[in-house]
Chains A and B, each alone.
Chain A
Amino acid sequence: MSTVQDHLQSLMGNRVVETSGSSLTRETWKRLRANRLAMVGGIIVVAFVLVAIFAPWLAPHDPRDNSWFDQIRPSSIPGPSWDHWFGLDESGRDLFSRVIYGARSSLIIGVVSLVIGATFGTILGLIAGAFPGWVDSLIMRITDILLAVPSLLLALSVAAVMGQSQTAVMVAVAVPNIPLFTRLLRGSMLAERQKDYVSAATSVGIARKRLVLSHVLPNSVSPMIVQGTLALATAVIDAAALSFLGLGSADPTIPEWGRMLANAQRYTNVAIHLAIFPGLMILITALGFNLFGEALREALDPKLRR
């Protein structure tokens, strides 16, 4: 959108990942392995995904089981103990189990919003790249507009209109992702078009289709993975922020880190553990995706190869 932003990307990635020529090769993997931070990030990401998937086996209790409600008093909520590693929550449930299940909510929200954002972004990007002229201009102007609003504000206005539901959160978190993928795919497309064999092709219709399927999409995989990884970090934080502002799902019994953190506000004087554990989980998860995403970007970027 602005020339400065474009220039800065060459120095360090903003949220916008640019297309780069290389793909996920063995060499990339080797470079990743050598990067200790990447490994830490990778481990966090893998652990997060495993916890999310195997939550029912890992959690010692049902996250909705409020059997310990009788231990809750207005002025005291039992903290960490041998029976409840993270203590109880404000409604007499096992916080550890809820935090584990919270990973699941975060993963679902993150992945779904990513898929929505990436799908729409990819389609728009391909269309823009395939039809230079007014179509391209129109799509890029829309992209500019979406990029003109800070992502959380954009998500906020979307969620506010849609009301309190998990779907609203997913869509809200997805919308700011759309322009990022649009730009990425359009860039890929333009790069391919400039190559000679494309201009040589006589049948434009066929060329377009083949171009997309056999060149643009495969070549875009790695930057999309980088963009996706970083987007997941943002998704975890933004979804939590929306919950914090009261825009989460209507069912408070669904364990959700952002909501847990928001609810904990009321009890900071009584039980700070209610805020600490979900807050740390958000932090660690986002950190994992950021570490891994950054390392991946570095590994894929020919300019940063040393």
Chain B
Amino acid sequence: MLKFIIRRLLLLVPILLGLSFLLFVWVRALPGGPATALLGERATPERVAEVNRLYGFDQPLIQQYLRYLNRIVHLDFGQSITLRKDVTDEMVRRFPATVELTVAAMMFATAVGIPLGFAAAKRERSWVDNSAMIASLIGVSIPVFFLAQILKYGFAQKLGWFPTIGRLDPARELEHVTNFNTIDSIIARDWDAFVDTLMHLVLPAIALGTIPLAIIARITRASVMEVLNEDYVRTARAKGMSRSVVDRRHVLRNALLPIVTVVGLQIGLLLSGAVLTETVFAWGGVGQLISGAVLDKDYPVIQGGVLFLAVVFVVVNLIVDVLYAVIDPRIRVR
């Protein structure tokens, strides 16, 4: 087992190295080079030379890359051009917001997606199945930002059931210990703030969770259908076991394996969806940081943000892989 984990961890190294290299080359491939990216087209040759010297852009490429690598290993992504702040600090400060939203979206997606897929599989080709699958296809096809806008327009703006922006009513004082508002409000025993935090989470979580919901529903359906056709289930049924017992003992437990893993794999989707959702709801997480940076061409933030989210994505995938191997030993043999 340990060997497996170590092997997977080692595989991580080339991926991260390559990714950092691609991002590094990318900005340097700009017409006019990175100095122009920083200065804009107005740059006079003297200013370009100055910036090149300051950032070391005039040194050999490989040396630059090593320096860059050294910096990112020390988690130094440089300074944001527009925010004038340390990129790493900003990301670390905002990351809990994104995690909180992602987890909420995932909880919504699984809580609705698994029962939906299960119901569909149990009544294959019935109207339940068909409408669940159509709904899930619509779920996959709807642009996140359109859904977010519509939800905000309908439930926040017109009906006034939910707040429209942010994570917490700004007039509320809450001491930030972890920067997870749910946890912080529990620590402070401020139940109003806790409820307020949850209310702020509802719409963004639904907007962000809809696509994973659709995918989870489909996976659940496929997985449950596969298990239903397995011999041991048929045998159990034939033995006269009651439907609900079979469902619980055999079907659900065996079907759950791939479902659990697909949940983990949706993280990537959620992280990129967060860029859009956070923008619509002014969420203030890493996603909003990146979308703002894109508008302002704030390259250090774009570079750092994409690398950061990709690392999170890769690491989460690794954890899912390992978990999967723990649960299902067959994988390790492969």
A contact set with B: CB distance below 8 Å: 1-5, 7-8, 11-12, 14, 37, 141-142, 144-145, 148-154, 156-161, 233, 237, 240-241, 244-247, 261, 265, 268-269, 272, 275, 279, 282-283, 286-287, 290-291, 294
The answer to whether A265 and B265 have CB atoms under 8 Å apart is no
The answer to whether B271 and A290 have CB atoms under 8 Å apart is no
| Chain B residues positioned under 8 Å from A158 (CB to CB) | 26
The answer to whether B265 and A150 have CB atoms under 8 Å apart is no
8 tightest Cβ-Cβ pairs between the two chains A and B: A152-B272, A286-B141, A150-B272, A287-B141, A279-B146, A150-B268, A145-B18, A149-B310
The answer to whether B313 and A11 have CB atoms under 8 Å apart is no
Query: A244 touches which one: B130, B145, B321 (CB < 8 A)?
Result: B145
| Chain A residues positioned under 8 Å from B258 (CB to CB) | 7-8, 11
| Most chain B CB inside 10 Å of its own CB: which residue of A2, A4, A291 | A4
The answer to whether B306 and A157 have CB atoms under 8 Å apart is yes
18 inter-chain pairs at a CB distance below 8 angstroms, sorted by A residue, are A3-B331, A4-B317, A8-B258, A8-B262, A12-B218, A141-B15, A149-B310, A150-B271, A160-B294, A161-B299, A246-B294, A246-B295, A269-B157, A275-B153, A279-B146, A283-B138, A283-B141, A286-B140
The verdict on A8 contacting B294 (CB below 8 Å), with A150-B313, A233-B141, A282-B146 known, is: no
Query: A268 touches which one: B149, B306, B320 (CB < 8 A)?
Result: B149
Supply 15 further A-B pairs (C-beta < 8 A) apart from A11-B223, A12-B219.
Answer: A2-B318, A4-B261, A11-B219, A12-B218, A14-B265, A141-B15, A149-B313, A150-B313, A152-B272, A156-B275, A156-B294, A244-B145, A261-B145, A265-B149, A268-B157
Query: B137 touches which one: A142, A152, A269, A294 (CB < 8 A)?
Result: A294
The answer to whether A161 and B26 have CB atoms under 8 Å apart is yes
B27 at interface (Cβ–Cβ under 8 A)?
yes
B contact set with A: CB distance below 8 Å: 14-15, 18-19, 22-23, 26-27, 29-30, 37, 130, 133-134, 137-138, 140-146, 149-150, 153, 157, 218-219, 222-223, 226, 258, 261-262, 265, 268-269, 271-273, 275-276, 279, 290-291, 293-295, 297, 299, 302-303, 306, 309-310, 313-314, 317-318, 320-321, 324-325, 331, 334
Query: B141 touches which one: A144, A159, A247, A290 (CB < 8 A)?
Result: A290
The answer to whether B279 and A283 have CB atoms under 8 Å apart is no
Residue of A whose beta carbon sits closest to that of B211: A237
The answer to whether B137 and A160 have CB atoms under 8 Å apart is no
Residue of B whose beta carbon sits closest to that of A288: B141
| Chain B residues positioned under 8 Å from A161 (CB to CB) | 26-27, 29-30, 37, 299
Query: B302 touches which one: A142, A160, A287 (CB < 8 A)?
Result: A160
The answer to whether B223 and A153 have CB atoms under 8 Å apart is no
| Chain A residues positioned under 8 Å from B141 (CB to CB) | 233, 237, 283, 286-287, 290
Cα-based distance from A272 to B149 in the complex (angstroms): 10
The answer to whether A156 and B306 have CB atoms under 8 Å apart is yes
Q: Output the least CB separation between B301 and chain A (Å).
A: 10
| Chain A residues positioned under 8 Å from B302 (CB to CB) | 156-157, 160
